[in-house]
Amino acid sequence: MSRMCEGRVVAVTGAGRGLGRAHALAFAAAGAKVVVNDLGVGLDGTVGAADSPARQVVDEIRAAGGEAVAHGGDVATSAGAASLVTAALETYGRLDTLVNNAGFLRDRMLVNLDEDDWDAVVRVHLKGHFLPLKHAAAHWRAEAKAGRTPVARVVNTSSGAGLLGSLGQGNYSAAKAGVLGLTLVAAAELGRYGVQVNAIAPAARTRMTERTFAETMTAPDAGFDAMAPENVSPLVVWLGSAESEGVTGRVFEAEGGRITVMEGWREGPTVEKGARWMPEEVGEAVRKLLGEAGVPGAVYGT
């Protein structure tokens, strides 16, 4: 693998398993020093085994000749997110790239979705993106104001559920849609400080998706597992490197060997009356517009 991240320091949240682990290993292979964050919780956010998955990933990286340090803080708290940035600065003297990836699921149909399950999922996915981004951005802004403008990168993790919605995942879909809005705002606000912010909507087999991808999918050429999380990481490594200069405020779908630039809400067909509409006039106008508009993508699970 190209050492395109040689000398860079990368923090990856939720990096003990699945996509986060794959990203951490890929960044290390590309020459980065990696802060491996993972709280070590179960799929639903409950406290799991005492053996730290972050430590296991650090051991893997070190065994391969790389450099890494474990961080077990809760990045959905201000103290935990701040300590993630501090861990990078105190261990390696800098922070160049932040990959927000931490999350878990508590799936329910809306009528059965408890308020606690809503709050927990929105907290880890959305607040768990906002707080590390906020603390990293504060550091990078200070660097820029001191005349040391960074070549900083942020990669946020959304989902197809955030783009289209997903049955039984109202909390997760809302949080992942929020990640997209946060990405666009952060890219616009932080560019002046040398920070680029992008998002991915990955599809891969992880603890969170193993029921969805129960059957292993393979490409025509034998040996290529299209649902392996490692397929998503090359895009993340490139977005997190200096090589991605000029790419910001974008959303990419990644699955197997496919990378797609996602195009968000844009103005479609429109009609202008030049005066206030009457309710009885609206139906005909809207139906005509819908007839001219493209068909939206289907909600996952329908």
Is 166 labeled as catalytic in the residue annotation?
no
What is the span of the domain harbouring residue 244?
A: 9-262
The mean pLDDT value for 182-201 works out to 98
**Token code pair at residue 112:** 């059965």
Catalytic option among 158, 159, 173, 241: 159
Q: What is the pLDDT of residue 214?
A: 45
Give the integer Cα–Cα distance in Å for 166 and 164.
Answer: 7
Is 172 labeled as catalytic in the residue annotation?
yes
Is 176 labeled as catalytic in the residue annotation?
yes
Residue 3 lies in a domain: no
The mean pLDDT value for 83-98 works out to 98
Domain of 30, CATH number, reads 3.40.50.720
Give the residue from 64, 54, 75, 76 showing the smallest Cα distance to 32.
64
Residue 274 lies in a domain: no
Residue 1 lies in a domain: no
**Average pLDDT of the chain, as a whole number:** 92
- pTM to 2 decimal places: 0.91
Residue 15 lies in a domain: yes
Query: 215 pLDDT exceeds 50?
Result: no
Q: What is the pLDDT of residue 220?
A: 45
Residue 77 lies in a domain: yes
Q: What is the pLDDT of residue 76?
A: 97
Q: In which band, very low, low, confident or very high, does the pLDDT at 42 lie, cut at 50, 70 and 90?
A: low
Catalytic option among 52, 92, 172, 241: 172
Residue 228 lies in a domain: yes
The mean pLDDT value for 19-31 works out to 98
Q: The dihedral of CA 294, 198, 37, 214: what is its sign? A: positive
The per-residue pLDDT for range 133-187, each reduced to its tens digit, is 999 999 999 999 999 999 999 999 999 999 999 999 999 999 999 999 999 999 9
Residue 301 lies in a domain: no
Give the residue from 130, 156, 132, 153 showing the smallest Cα distance to 9.
153
The mean pLDDT value for 210-222 works out to 47
Q: What is the pLDDT of residue 216?
A: 40
In total, how many domains does the chain have? 1
Catalytic option among 33, 92, 173, 176: 176
The per-residue pLDDT for range 100-143, each reduced to its tens digit, is 999 999 999 999 999 999 999 999 999 999 999 999 999 999 99
Residue 75 lies in a domain: yes
DSSP string, 7-71: T-EEEETTTTSHHHHHHHHHHHHTT-EEEEE---B-TTS-B--SS-HHHHHHHHHHHTT-EEEEE
Give the integer Cα–Cα distance in Å for 61 and 262.
Answer: 32
Query: 217 pLDDT exceeds 80?
Result: no
Q: What is the pLDDT of residue 275?
A: 97
